[in-house]
Amino acid sequence: MSNKTIAFIGTGNMSYAIIGGMLKNGFSARNIIATNRNQEKLDKVAQDFTVQTTSDNIDAIKRADVIVLSVKPQMMEALCETFRLANIDLTDKVVISVAAGITLARLKEMLQSDAKLVRCMPNTPSLVGLGVSGLFSQDINEQEQRFIDQIFSATGMTVWLHSESQINDIIAVTGSSPAYFFLFMQAIEEKAKALGFNEQQARQLVQQTALGAAQMAISQPDISLEQLRANVTSKGGTTHAAIESMKDNQLPLTVANAMDACIARAEEMEKQI
């Protein structure tokens, strides 16, 4: 691994997941700095990982080659202002923002700097090493791209996007979609309970089935999802009855509409922040 120093500014859930993945994947703790304004959260990071921790963002970014900005979108402006006031030279540093709803143009405006900027949209399964991170940049060279790819590959798979607007699409496809799956699982769980399964059974039955279905799809990449579904749907059978009912109730259209609503919200946030 490279000897570059990576600073995580605002080490909450997302940064915690990325740091954990990096350490498992051969990055040296010595090259990672984690900051947080909340001392309790910082203490937890220090306790769980052997990375450097500090509440001094300015010191951390001065020492870093790559900076991951991981505060909530509405806090980004105030954070960037502290960098501006400290007069830090970000030229030659790579600044990665994982915040939803902040375009690279807006981030550049906030930083008022010529730093090399990257947008990244990870998702929560990164917490268990099965995440997807969508990435976009126009500023970095191949070597920097490879390095950033290694960082985010540590929490799952990465996909480099061709245009910044695809970041909002990836929010709908992978960023928000863990919640769609949880809602679907929850609906099956609720019905299982209504049918008499106890709470623990209902939960275990639905999660094992979701895992099995995902694993079947992963282990048979040449078979389309349509075909996998057809394989368990004999005409006139029980699954056929269930699927027809879902189609009658426009399930595919409901999902497509939900994803459009997600993209529209991301676009709206970009205008507000």
Ligand X SMILES: NC(=O)c1ccc[n+]([C@@H]2O[C@H](COP(=O)([O-])OP(=O)(O)OC[C@H]3O[C@@H](n4cnc5c(N)ncnc54)[C@H](OP(=O)(O)O)[C@@H]3O)[C@@H](O)[C@H]2O)c1
User: Which residues of this chain interact with ligand X, rule CB under 6 A?
Assistant: 9-10, 12-15, 35-38, 41, 57, 70-73, 75, 79, 98-100, 121-124, 175
User: Between 154 and 202, whose beta carbon lies closer to ligand X?
Assistant: 154
Q: How far is the CB of 168 from ligand X (least distance, A)?
A: 12
Beta bridge partners of 33: 7, 52
Q: How far is the CB of 259 from ligand X (least distance, A)?
A: 16
Q: How far is the CB of 35 from ligand X (least distance, A)?
A: 5
* Tokens representing residue 188 in the block: 């099956």
User: Between 228 and 259, whose beta carbon lies closer to ligand X?
Assistant: 259
Rounded Cα gap, residues 96 and 4, in angstroms: 14
User: Alpha helix locations (H) across 50-164?
Assistant: 57-63, 76-85, 104-111, 142-153
User: Between 11 and 192, whose beta carbon lies closer to ligand X?
Assistant: 11
Q: How far is the CB of 11 from ligand X (least distance, A)?
A: 6
Rounded to the nearest 5 percent, the helix, strand and coil shares of the chain are 60, 15, 30
User: Between 122 and 156, whose beta carbon lies closer to ligand X?
Assistant: 122
**Closest to 252 in 3D by CA, of 188, 184, 185, 203:** 184
Residue closest to ligand X when measured from CB atoms: 12
Return the SS3 of 130. Answer: coil
Q: How far is the CB of 101 from ligand X (least distance, A)?
A: 7
